[in-house]
Amino acid sequence: SQTIHQWPATLVQPVGSPLSLECTVEGTSNPNLYWYRQAAGRGLQLLFYSVGIGQISSEVPQNLSASRPQDRQFILSSKKLLLSDSGFYLCAWGPGGQETQYFGPGTRLLVL
């Protein structure tokens, strides 16, 4: 069966510091991968998606970036965090086609 992991679970970072969130998927090959941000009461905002190694599509211009160095690894990064980057970050994978998505447990980021 497939599983998806995210770490860390919680992160408190000062403004201006760098960020690296990691997501890995097990039990499947060549998944579509997604990063979402969830702000309180505002649903899910798609940040990035990837259909293969090194292929990243950005949905929202911002100071975040994503990379996919391996088939089942997806990384969300920032060089300098802003207060507005605080939120709950969710990674998801999908097998393609009908695009049901399967979510990881999330990372709660607080930028102070």
Partner 1 sequence: AQSVTQLGSHVSVSEGALVLLRCNYSSSVPPYLFWYVQYPNQGLQLLLKYTSAATLVKGINGFEAEFKKSETSFHLTKPSAHMSDAAEYFCAVSLGGFKTIFGAGTRLFVKA
Q: Which residues bind partner 1 (CB under 8 A)?
A: 4, 6, 32, 41-44, 46, 49, 51, 57, 59, 90, 92, 94, 97-106, 108
CA distance to 4, 14, 49, 55, per residue, from 60 (Å)? 24, 23, 11, 16
Q: Please calculate the CA angle 16-22-28 and round it to the nearest 5 degrees.
A: 160
**CA pair distance 92, 103, nearest whole angstrom:** 4
**In terms of CB distance, is 27 or 105 closer to partner 1?**
105
**In terms of CB distance, is 23 or 64 closer to partner 1?**
23
To the nearest whole angstrom, how small is the minimum distance from the Cβ of residue 112 to partner 1?
Answer: 19
* Residue at token pair 């089942």: 72
To the nearest whole angstrom, how small is the minimum distance from the Cβ of residue 111 to partner 1?
Answer: 18
**In terms of CB distance, is 16 or 27 closer to partner 1?**
27
